Structure 1
Amino acid sequence: MAFRPKKNGHAISDEELVRAYHQGDNTSFVELISRYLDLIDAKLTQFHCSGAEREDVKQEALMALLNAVKLYDPGKETRFSTFASRCVENSVLRSLQHRNTKKARLLSDAVSIDEAKEIAVQENPEDLYIDQEGYHVMLGKIEVNLSEFEKNVLFSYLDGNSYAQISTQFGASQKSVDNALQRVRRKLKTVFSK
């Protein structure tokens, strides 16, 4: 059972911790994570996540927990534990569904021509593993931090399409495409500089 900090001799409820977080107390979120890690692990086991996939999906589930804390409304008369459990479960299911799509499998297995040349030159299996792991971490960060439109624009741009081609492909103006790519650059710069 998780440690429950006390206030006036009584254990602090999840709802009180959420209120404290909303008032700027970030340590309350750390306490909520410790309380809900077992729930996250149980959901990952329930949906048969294992290996590297488990770690990626766990990160997304933690992001879902953070969103649950940010979005929780005590006025709706729903217990935080119920709300958080639903948010985490939906995140795990969405992540697994996305990972099982044909496009996601192709992206995760794809190697560019430049990467293929580099891999052919490398002889150390450890270097190959580290490169592959970095690639999966990068894809996970893209998945978590970019909107669906931003991801589509990014992948289309990386495929060599011009702004005009991308705008036609997604029915958006070239300015929208440019704005999306600018947001992608800012977000990824922030994410990868941490």
Structure 2
Amino acid sequence: MEDKELIRKCQTGDKEAFYELISRYHPFVYKFLVKITEDEGIAEDLTQETFLKIIKNIDKYDLDGKAKFSTYVITVSKNCYIDYIRREKKWMQAIPIDENSNIEDISTNVEDLVLDKMYNQDIIEEIENLTDEQKLVIKMKYIEGLTLKEIGDKLNLETKTVKSRIHNGIVRLRKILWKGDGYEKD
């Protein structure tokens, strides 16, 4: 059975379809999470959390949208992992998501790449070399998970100033990332 047909059945509440969907994607999600967590127990917990979220929100998945279901599943699992890191305050020890992996479309924009790579100790060290203003707002946005408005309120800055500082810091980090990956981009 094709994914679309299976998902359509799930959206109507077919329990057997849910079982088949989970059976089909469980190894895919579990292997991905083992790779980024390097811990089978945490990976299994996050895999279960991923499927609970998928089941709960299956009716929101757009069958006619551009994103493949596999991309949607990996996005949900990546977000579960990021939530776990934030909950457990283990961001300093986290393993980055490898954007060169065979899993398609994990991170397609620069901010996602920075978020994924930020957990790598080398990048955290590079963040320390940014200006104090850039360093502070990037940590508040990507590590603490604050919105631009919340950051602005805490620092008594305009939202556009916060956005500008984050953008400039990301540009600088992007150059570091490209050079570190062998992609000279100046």
Q: TM-score, normalised by structure 1?
A: 0.41
Larger helix fraction of residues: 1
Q: TM-score, normalised by structure 2?
A: 0.42
Q: Which has the larger radius of gyration?
A: 1
